[in-house]
Amino acid sequence: MPYSLPTWSIESLLAYIVGVDAGLGAEEETAPLACPFHELVPRCRGERDRRDDARYAAACCEAVQRVVDAQWDAQLGTISGTAYLAADKRDDQTPYVELFGAVKAADAQKYGAHKASVFGTDLIAKMRKLAHPALVSLVDPFETLNTRLEAAGQARENAERAEKVLGIDQDRLRLDIEKEVARAEVALLGMLVGRPGAKERVAAILSPERGPRRSKTEQTEPET
């Protein structure tokens, strides 16, 4: 019977091919069939390491974005508060109405990195145009944070995209393993044809569903 591998993690795939490699190598006559699986082991390890590197990269980018985002939110709050005070605490007066009349700072702080940086770029242009004395010193620091937020958001998107691409590579690896399993099954059945327990022996080597191990009691218990 052809063996189909479950949708396993890369660790489970690695454990499976290592087991098949060892099972085929357990007997001299079947040992030559182990070569393809032996060659798959470093490939599988490489895929696992690349996946881990991609995960770590994505986690690092997410952490950087969180930090920059928190700073961006705080600076935006400072700008909003300063503009509100400069407008005599009236949201329909200059400079507050020009800067936050359409979108309040509290709403912009809920945006994702890309949308927030677009909002920030527009806000910076408005602040420069107004050139209000109370806000002039806040423009450059906020522009720096806005640029960092945009870069952090893009880096996170790139890292997450790279991680998804690796999932496709792992699907290819699974298919390649299944092809080698099919070839090994045909070769084994031909090699062991007519021998008692041939199918069970093939299953012991290739089946992804491992049977229960015998306990020490079962192994040492005398037959009656």
Q: Going residue by residue through the chain (224 aa), what tens digit of pLDDT does each one get?
A: 567 888 888 899 999 999 999 999 999 999 999 999 999 999 999 989 998 999 999 999 999 999 999 999 999 999 999 999 999 999 999 999 999 999 999 999 999 999 999 999 999 999 999 999 999 999 999 999 999 999 999 999 999 998 888 777 788 888 999 999 999 999 999 999 888 999 999 999 999 885 444 444 444 444 43
- The pTM of the full predicted model, rounded to 2 decimals, is 0.74
How many domains in the chain?
1
134 part of a folded domain:
yes
Distance between CA atoms of residues 197 and 203, nearest Å: 10
Cβ–Cβ under 8 Å, residues 44 and 13: yes
Question: Burial level of 216, CB count in 10 A (0-12/13-18/19+)?
Answer: exposed
184 part of a folded domain:
yes
222 part of a folded domain:
no
Cα distances (angstroms) measured from residue 66 to each of 16, 52, 75, 86, 196: 39, 21, 14, 30, 64
Report the amino acid identity of residue 66. Answer: R
Q: For residue 12, what are its two tokens? A: 């489970």
220 part of a folded domain:
no
Distance between CA atoms of residues 67 and 195, nearest Å: 66
Q: State the residue range of the domain holding 100.
A: 10-208
4 part of a folded domain:
no
Residue 215: count other Cβ atoms within 10 Å of its Cβ.
Answer: 9
